[in-house]
Structure 1
């Protein structure tokens, strides 16, 4: 995708607007803190909704409080663990972001990483018979999961669209992912019992769903969250954010102490530029062969005595995965020029 380039005047105008907004927000926070009688105890919580400067923070008791965020602490996102204090108006101020274990981000128009969600432990990649799945996109998601250090799960949805023969061919096409250790699940929302395996994988985890448009993400969210409207109402009542709770990244409670982050930002999620070593590590089946090529800087293309090409010829690495690796490598190198 071609990056949008802003003129110096546009950048200056945007910076001026942002500075004004920051000044107004800082004034609101100072006023809120000045109304506190005595020093409130610091509390820990999780950001479950962020809309602009407004945060919904869930405490250890499960109660939701509408908070603002101090300007000098960075930009909290959905899933962040934070330190916050109550104010006299039954709201709160976030004073610190606790260290993130993982963060999902995407490049902004300037090529800088823009965090979307934090502290994930599961990345669920949705595919379906229609629209036609993109192996390249799947591999981008898998590289992102490996780079973050979270478990990736591939869920093939809408399997009811296929007859017996087509279903077998579809499953065979993606079977390789299971052989290299990724959970590969087959589901249809018309048959609820096919979601049992997915629900087991999400139990006690903080998960996010990613995938192409049209793979049934919204319908799957509704199936996993039968009380979603109740949760939205609870968030809206506690924060006053109203309809914004459905247009912003939101962390919903799943059964069995799990959480599901539903974020509009993942619709256009892509990996940003990665160092070659990070990219190689993102293809887990390449790892045993890294460092065994004749040349230390081998690109696994046309070089002689390439250990990875030898593994492909032996049927140990799928050639489609190697092709996607080389494509991603070329893209990341081009992005840096």
Structure 2
């Protein structure tokens, strides 16, 4: 007779956890089925706080809601259905029962947690950069690749232009004309002088926008000018590193009186792209697209390969050297920045 195999403590814990998960899922299903969906209220998530989220009901009331365990993720901009009930103090509290399909989703890679969603149902991404810390078109290029990968239109905002002399501003505008030529709107702003705020407001009207950009570029300061009642915290530039200080800690959705919404996301100093396949990064440089598939070799790296028509386009002045160099800096950084526990980005 075969000797009975005893389970290890680890196996017992795993079985217990799996059993409890099945019980929780069954209870959740029963609770949802028992709820009268006719009494659910439609709302929009305006903030996420651990296992709770703020849900705004028709811009009249905001409820702090529990998130049902069967719901995978909740982010700012999600359109949801909630059930409500009286709490012990006589006020209202809610439970998010259902998340509607997202029309769009902006995510970013996290070194430890994998791909993290930031905001949902966005019409446009506002890529905010600034003169200080030093203006980096390479950082702008990284954000634009992420925007192209999501299929969400991008607008470039260059802040703190009051720090430039007239000659320096002309140089910056000449340098950034390439983005206008590629079809990206570029808006120059100053929170100190309020230069460019009216054109920026016109871009934001009647759309759901999300601000992204490195810490310290002035996202919160811009919001304070556009929405004085928002009272966003602002931070100074570090004297030692020259980098911005994190001021926004959680994403939040704000309303413009003239129409439109803005999602202010936590600042990030580096927007990783290691989760995106190389082919998608190449397509993220929109001026490359007319040449893709035309190189002599299918596995062309678009560097020193013979018969590379993208490199030829650079030599002919049809693609700027700066953007070409920025592309290769991104490609070279993929393996360097990819966490060891993450899978290599698949080829499309």
TM-score range, shorter chain: 0.7 to 0.9
Per-residue CA distance 1:175-206 (angstroms, 9 max, x = gap) = 11111111011122233352111111111111
Assess if the C-alpha contact under 8 Å between 1:129 and 1:170 holds in 2.
no
Per-residue CA distance 1:220-256 (angstroms, 9 max, x = gap) = 11011122149xxxxxxxxxxxxxxx74211011133
Map 1:1-337 onto structure 2 (within 5 A): 41-89=39-87, 90-110=92-112, 112-229=114-231, 247-264=249-266, 266=268, 269-333=271-335, 335=338, 336=343
> What CA distance in whole angstroms lies between the structure 1 residues aligned with 2:79 and 2:139?
30
SS in 2 for 1:248: coil
SS in 1 for 2:56: strand
> What CA distance in whole angstroms lies between the structure 1 residues aligned with 2:199 and 2:215?
23
Per-residue CA distance 1:245-285 (angstroms, 9 max, x = gap) = x7421101113321111122545543342112211221111
Assess if the C-alpha contact under 8 Å between 1:155 and 1:187 holds in 2.
yes
- Regions of 4+ moved over 6 Å: 36-39
Assess if the C-alpha contact under 8 Å between 1:116 and 1:265 holds in 2.
no
Assess if the C-alpha contact under 8 Å between 1:273 and 1:333 holds in 2.
no
> What CA distance in whole angstroms lies between the structure 1 residues aligned with 2:279 and 2:215?
31
Which structure would you say has the larger Rg? 2
Change (3 A) 1:266 1:207: farther
> How far is the alpha carbon of 1:211 from its aligned partner?
2.0
SS in 2 for 1:68: strand
> What CA distance in whole angstroms lies between the structure 2 residues aligned with 1:179 and 1:248?
34
Which moved further from structure 2: 76-85 or 103-112?
103-112
User: What's the counterpart of residue 243 of structure 1?
Assistant: none
Q: Matched residue pairs, number?
A: 299
Assess if the C-alpha contact under 8 Å between 2:274 and 2:335 holds in 1.
no
Structure (1/2) with the larger helix percentage: 1
Change (3 A) 1:266 1:122: farther
Change (3 A) 1:328 1:149: same
Which moved further from structure 2: 122-131 or 136-145?
122-131
Which moved further from structure 2: 276-285 or 262-271?
262-271
Change (3 A) 1:84 1:266: farther
User: What's the counterpart of residue 241 of structure 2?
Assistant: none
Which moved further from structure 2: 196-205 or 102-111?
102-111
> How far is the alpha carbon of 1:208 from its aligned partner?
1.7
> How far is the alpha carbon of 1:110 from its aligned partner?
3.5
Per-residue CA distance 1:35-89 (angstroms, 9 max, x = gap) = x996661222110011001111012353211111111111101111112111233
Flag the structure with more relative contact order, 1 or 2, with Cα contacts below 8 A and sequence separation at least 6. Answer: 1
User: What's the counterpart of residue 3 of structure 1?
Assistant: none
User: What's the counterpart of residue 6 of structure 1?
Assistant: none
Change (3 A) 1:39 1:164: closer
SS in 1 for 2:312: helix
Change (3 A) 1:110 1:61: closer
Assess if the C-alpha contact under 8 Å between 1:78 and 1:250 holds in 2.
yes
Assess if the C-alpha contact under 8 Å between 1:85 and 1:95 holds in 2.
yes
Normalised TM-score (structure 2):
0.78
Normalised TM-score (structure 1):
0.80
